[in-house]
Amino acid sequence: MSKKIKERYDELKKQIAYHANKYYNEDAPEISDFEYDMLMLELRNIELQNPEFVTNDSPTQVIVASGAPDKHFSEVRHEIPMQSLQDVFNTADVVGFVERIEKEVQNPSYVVEAKIDGLSVTLEYVKGKFVRGSTRGDGLVGEDVTINLNTIKSIPKILKDEIDIIVRGEVYLPRAFFEKINEEREVMGEKLFANPRNAAAGSLRQLNPEITAQRNLDIFIFNIQKSDSVKFASHYESLKFAEEQGFKISPYLKRCSNVEEVLDSINEISEVRGDLEFDIDGAVVKVDNLAQREEIGTTTKVPKWAVAYKYPPEKKETILKDIVVQVGRTGAITPVAILEPIRVAGSVISKTTLHNEDFIKEKGLKIGDHVLIQKAGDVIPEVCDVLVDKRDGSEKDFEMPRTCPVCGSEAAREDGEAVIRCTGIECPAMLFRNIVHFASRDAMDIEGLGPAMVEMLLNNNLVKNIADIYELKFDDLVTLERMGEKSANNLLSAIEKSKENPLENLINAFGIRHIGLKSAKILAKNYKTLDELMNATYVELCTINEIGATMAESLIKFFESEQTKDLIKKLRNLGLNFESNVQTIEDNRFEGMTFVLTGTLPTLSRNEASEIIESFGGKVSSSVSKKTTYVLAGEDAGSKLDKALSLNINVIDEDTFKKMVD
């Protein structure tokens, strides 16, 4: 039995390490917070019963890093360690905590706060001025993210008093902005953030502070780490002082004198958490008196004077009335559960995504089933269980459609993917995303035709397909909001200019699955006209270097579509260039060579350098390997440079590169 327990213990350590890395370092969790907490709880219970198993690297013995330091940010050694909290999952554990405290100190009082689910940071002030901010890291060393924290409006840059102070807070992303960001990422075909916490973490660790500023991050201060000039008797008093200085403090802050008041406060927070504009994942119970905290002490990982009560996901039973499908802007056809309305975690749920057909099969869902609903992370409603024993035989199976419900085009599921997508380039559901991509820099490069303008054109019914872009008139544009005569003329000029773009840009602009700009360039080198490419056979395409079977199949399907044929006919009549201007390589000095670009070059953009390399028969790769011939490095070269040096690959700068070209 002991052997099986030890095997389970070792497996738990591996699982926790894996999921901690996905959560903290990659901002891409694969399981819910509750599931992660249950793994930790199981591990802790095994250690209590088998203390001989415990090693120094156990997740219960070390502080889990909330984001491994990124070398793009300077390291900050915290003057006061940023400890984590001991989690508890039931009221009995809260009662046990209070009873232990009352044995150690006389007449303790407590503070109960909402536990904000965000990214912990330290803010440092000198003479009342904000001088530095850092992430928690491993609790001892974090990252200097001052430039990004400066974009958060609720962080005061100058305090009321000229004091030296260090405070700790939780950076979070309000739910409304989280939903907006994910909508924008879906439009652009980017991976969605799993929850607001991970979106906040990804935003705060951006290398470009302008992106951070656009994310509308916010912060609550929950502790004064150090203050030499002002002394406090209690935690509650210190937070009220922080509020006077201009900080936003924890929104739910209540003093309690006994265990009954503590439990009542925890329940009060639970009742309102679904109505808050931000995520919380529990309630924190702390000893209020700071002198008593010193007496109680801490472990190397957690303070002994506080615990974090984690709320279990609230589950409610309802009926799955129907399953419908909706087509997203990327063409993904997603099944949606229509539910008998039920209130869960503070809000009424009447529908929720079922993700894809694999999810429906795994759950064994049928229309008419009694199901349990919960909010993953208290935000996104999901079907978590099917109550099979309540079936009466009237339930119906569901099948995903094989044609797009919006435009009737084929709905295809490619190997290795769980999503079924519409393949129609003129599908109204995908029109916004398709036009945005068509006009983007690496496609038709129509300056002024960004997402906001496309949205405006669609809302005013000025475009109903991609070809309509080229039939826009001055009188149509000049009447639009914030569109003056000059802006209208500039946009029309950019549209007209795009007709002359190389064939490779047009191929990329079509947004064909698996075909990007690099593949488009290869195709434009091998086919003189778009018509030749359209008539290419599968076997023919597969013989082209770097055009694999998946790409070839995607091209064939795309050009066979009636919607594609219709669009190409319209674009031909509108005068777009369908001919390749790629010159036959006469000087192939870089033939057989592979270049990797990293950092910022003094005068050349990456695209310009890549075009030069390819014009001389060379290849440009995104990753360094033993097959790499040269790494062309500029300022702020990153990990690619390090790897090149470790593999003894030739590293050159722009001057050396230009001499090779000249």
Q: Show which residues are catalytic.
A: 115
SS (HEC) of 44-71: HHHHHHCHHHCCCCCCCCCCCCCCCCCC
Distance CA 274, CA 42 (A): 28
Tokens 């009742």 correspond to: 271
Beta bridge partners of 219: 171
Bridge partners, residue 121, by sequence: 135, 169
348-353 long-range contacts, Cβ below 8 Å, gap at least 24?
349/318, 349/373, 349/375, 349/381, 352/380, 352/381, 352/382, 352/383, 353/382
Using CA atoms, how far apart are residues 198 and 180, in angstroms rounded to an integer?
15
Consecutive H or E run containing 283: strand 280-287
* Integer Cα distance of 323 and 367 in angstroms: 7
Largest CA distance in the chain: 89
CA nearest 214: which of 239, 184, 190, 249?
184
Give CA–CA dist 623/641, Å, rounded: 10
* Beta strand 411-412 pairing with 420-422: antiparallel
- With beta carbons less than 8 A apart as the criterion, state whether 97 and 85 touch: no
- Ramachandran region, residue 429 (left: φ > 0; alpha: ψ -120 to 50; beta: rest): alpha
Spatial distance between the Cα atoms of 243 and 234, rounded to a whole number of angstroms: 15
| Alpha-carbon gap, residue 189 to 186, rounded angstroms | 5
| DSSP symbol at 41 | H
Burial 90-100 (b: 16+ CB within 10 A, else e): eeeebeebbee
